[in-house]
């Protein structure tokens, strides 16, 4: 994700500069259950990249180490726009490609909504 790469580059080029991010912006529009996990995974990678200060509601943050592997993998796929190559549902494998076709100003937002529409999280999938 460009934000995480941006933090890494700032720390590489300007190591004494402090970095700060509002974490929950990355998951805006997702269901509450998914937001907690996405925010946690995003915070984990941003911190690894050198983030100094995170603006986040700690009460609504799941510990990265306690996130089941299947959920953290889904979040990584969402955050880094890399769908699972072995996804049974072809829509999950093609959603990023379809979203990239929306090259306008709303393209990035559409990537998130495409993932949500295609059930990137079990809570989003329609039943019955």
pLDDT per residue over 55-69, tens digit each?
Answer: 988 887 888 888 888
Q: pLDDT tens, 106-121?
A: 444 455 555 555 555 5
pLDDT value for 105: 42
pLDDT value for 99: 44
pLDDT value for 119: 58
**pLDDT by residue, tens only, the chain of 128 residues:** 789 999 999 999 999 999 999 988 888 888 887 888 899 999 999 999 999 999 988 887 888 888 888 888 888 888 888 766 666 665 555 554 444 444 444 444 455 555 555 555 555 555 54
Type and span of the H or E element at 6 = helix 2-13
pLDDT value for 11: 94
pLDDT value for 101: 46
Sign, CA dihedral 31-42-93-103, equals positive
pLDDT value for 52: 96
């Amino acid at each position: 994700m460009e934000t995480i790469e941006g933090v890494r580059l700032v720390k590489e080029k300007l190591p004494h500069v402090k970095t700060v991010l509002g974490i929950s912006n990355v998951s805006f529009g997702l269901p509450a259950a998914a937001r907690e996990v996405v925010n946690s995974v995003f915070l984990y990678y941003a911190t690894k990249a050198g983030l100094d200060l995170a603006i986040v509601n700690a009460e609504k943050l799941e510990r990265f180490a306690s996130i089941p592997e299947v959920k953290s993998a889904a979040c990584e796929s969402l955050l880094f726009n890399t769908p699972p190559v072995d996804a049974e549902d072809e829509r999950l494998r093609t959603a990023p490609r379809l979203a990239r076709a929306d090259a306008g100003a709303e393209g990035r937002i559409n990537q998130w909504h495409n993932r949500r529409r295609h059930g990137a999280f079990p809570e989003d999938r329609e039943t019955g």
